[in-house]
Amino acid sequence: MRAIVAEHRGKRGALLPILHAIMEDLGCVDPAVVPVLADELNMSRADVHGVITFYHDFRQTPPGRRTVRICRAEACQAVGAAKLVDRAQARLGVAFGETTADGAVTLEQVFCLGNCAIGPSVQVDDRLYGRVSPEKLDRLLEVSA
């Protein structure tokens, strides 16, 4: 982590690129790094913590082996995203931002996947799916588990 900080330290607004690099390397930003980042960047711990918790992309716990994201933007909501949310939460037994007990799947909400014309949309890891019905979601979740 200190190598990542050293790479970005002199840049304006270095915290965001540092946090993204930490996420890429470790999968999450462990709360234990907050005091280190604050010290290295001459910031308060509250400022660092505030950035981490403000942006939904920064996880503080390791994600599951698979990540399922359901679009909650207006276009997807208009064509059935709420049913997908209910189905996914019931099947997985977790709420948004949580990971199943076996560590298989992390469920997340997003507010646009850029697939508006063929919503509702779901992303499993890096693969995007459109026109996802509750039945199609079941198949995607089976593959994800």
Percent of the chain with pLDDT over 70: 99
pLDDT above 90: residue 1: no
70-87 tens-digit pLDDT: 999 999 999 999 999 999
In the predicted structure, residue 144 carries a pLDDT above the cut 80:
no
* Strand ranges for 62-120 from DSSP E: 66-71, 98-99, 105-110
Mean pLDDT score, 18-47: 95
CATH of domain 66-144: 3.40.30.10
Question: Domain coordinates of the chain in residue numbers?
Answer: 2-54, 66-144
User: What pLDDT shows up at residue 135?
Assistant: 97
Mean pLDDT of the chain: 95
Q: Which residues are 107's β-sheet partners?
A: 68, 98
